Chains A and B, each alone.
Chain A
């Protein structure tokens, strides 16, 4: 028989530990209402709240349960959740897919010319998608998409490592592969990010989770360090967001120079991801949801989410534009 202490010692994987890079609703609810015990198993019949008092929980549970259902597909059936996860997760592979032709043909010109743009931007997209899962759980209360966090995290690491390898062996910079990775401030920061991503990549599986126990969660929090380092990587890469002639990513002839500044895109996306993670904000959201005022939550969050979308579409635009050029092995020189 396993006890709570056993869990704390990391001997057994709890259900919430299967995807616990960050606390899910079950973790933080108990902090907000420590005595309410809504999510405790030791309810007596007397104090148990009526299900109708939990509109958000009820709705999110319905969606989670619906996702467990099956879609009939010819003679067999596929879980709705599996189909949805595959559809959503496939996009994470897109940056690597763009680079496949040049890898198969070993086209060093394309790899050297666009690996940083395609895989670097792809890593950024995957990191943001990975970081988006927790706010999405906080806001919707649903958990069916939580496995995507691990998938996007793995894809982020693959893109990041690929970017570093491409930069080390095929970039125009002078010196040995290692020198190429550390000779500029932005490459050094990028290299650090990749170094931090490697342990996350290696431990991104159930076996490592069981072995590391409670330390696994702490280790996975390195994601936040990478997120922070990305700011400095982009800041030093793009001249701290100030365009100087053709130096900086805002040098675009389409008239939207500001939208193409990757540092601004990063800030626009991070504002949403960061705000929803601030504990008092999270508590406010949960409290309003418990009161059944979900509309108020959505109204309050909508502008921040709109800003996230604003920034994110330009990152995706960059990825698709540079990626398609890489795919046809004609690397973009923009």
Chain B
């Protein structure tokens, strides 16, 4: 009987202690969830504000688009999906991308030729062939480049100068001796100078904003 009583007291004691522990934990959990609720509410409010502000900002898109077109020096004849125009800045970047690698390769081919033209006919001819291939590839890239109307004449002149140079190099590559090969050097230099001048003109024209009367 005594044991039974002890057991029942003990059980009650455990139950009470357990209850206290449980209620302590639940209070802690409640506090913790309350903090979570406050954080969520605050972030939610901030987000609501930002979304509403974003939507309000989006209503002014049309106006800002016009201002941006004017400010960025756009070429409205050249369409770009996202922007609605191609800016001078974009053209510059495209031009740099196009010319950098091809001109570097051309210069390397010319340097190859200069070295080999003094002693080895076969090597010199292969350098000239490589030069022709690079020049033709550059010509094709230029033909695909979206030149604005204001730049198109200068670009055409550049392509003609490159064609002339390719023809001259083809002729030069047919030489049967080193002396004959070198005899072309003067004409090649003049042709190179013409290309350089045209390149400068195209670059200058590309980097200049179009005037009002040039707009289509």
Contact = CB atoms under 8 A, between A and B. Distances in A.
A304 interface: yes
B47 A253 contact: no
B80 to A, nearest CB: 7
Contacts of A303: 44-45, 47-48, 51
A35 B28 CA distance: 13
A333 B84 contact: no
Contacts of A279: 32, 36
A248 to B, nearest CB: 12
Interface string A11-42: 00000000000000000000011110000000
Contacts of A113: 97
A307 B47 contact: yes
B36 A284 contact: yes
Contacts of A67: none
A108 B87 CA distance: 24
Contacts of B101: 108-109
Interface string B171-215: 000000000000000000000000000000000000000000000
Contact of A306 (B33, B51, B74): B51
Contacts of A306: 47, 51
A331 to B, nearest CB: 8
A284 B36 CA distance: 5
A259 B81 CA distance: 17
B64 interface: yes
A238 B180 CA distance: 57
A76 interface: no
Interface of B: 22, 25, 29, 32-37, 39-41, 43-48, 50-51, 54, 57-58, 60-69, 72, 74, 80-85, 87, 89-91, 93-94, 97, 100-101
B39 A280 contact: yes
B41 A300 contact: yes
B97 A304 contact: no
Interface of A: 32-35, 108-109, 113, 172, 246, 251-259, 268, 271-272, 275, 278-285, 287, 300-304, 306-307, 310, 317, 321, 331-334
7 closest residue pairs by CB, A with B:
A284-B36, A255-B64, A280-B36, A255-B65, A253-B83, A333-B93, A303-B47
Majority secondary structure of chain B interface residues (helix, strand, loop or mixed):
helix
A287 B33 contact: yes
Contact of B51 (A254, A258, A307): A307
Q: Of residues A109, A253, A257, which shows the largest number of chain B Cβ atoms within 10 Å of its Cβ?
A: A253
A256 B44 contact: no
Given A258-B57, A307-B51, A333-B94, 20 more contacts: A33-B29, A34-B25, A113-B97, A251-B72, A255-B67, A256-B61, A256-B64, A271-B43, A271-B47, A272-B47, A279-B36, A280-B33, A280-B36, A285-B40, A287-B33, A302-B44, A304-B43, A310-B51, A317-B82, A333-B93
Given A254-B65, A303-B48, A334 B25 contact: no
Given A253-B74, A307-B47, A280 B35 contact: yes
18 contacts: A32-B33, A34-B25, A35-B22, A251-B89, A253-B68, A253-B83, A254-B68, A255-B61, A255-B63, A257-B64, A275-B39, A280-B36, A281-B36, A284-B36, A301-B40, A317-B82, A321-B81, A331-B97
B118 to A, nearest CB: 32
A173 B97 CA distance: 13
Contact of A284 (B40, B54, B94): B40
Contacts of A268: 50
Contacts of A321: 81-82
A134 to B, nearest CB: 16
B66 to A, nearest CB: 8
Contacts of B62: 255
A282 B36 contact: yes
Q: Which of A259, A281, A285 has its CB near the most chain B CB atoms (within 10 A)?
A: A281
Given A172-B100, A253-B87, A284 B47 contact: no
Contacts of B94: 333
A252 B89 CA distance: 11
Contacts of A172: 100
A251 B68 CA distance: 9
Nearest to A321: B82
B54 to A, nearest CB: 6
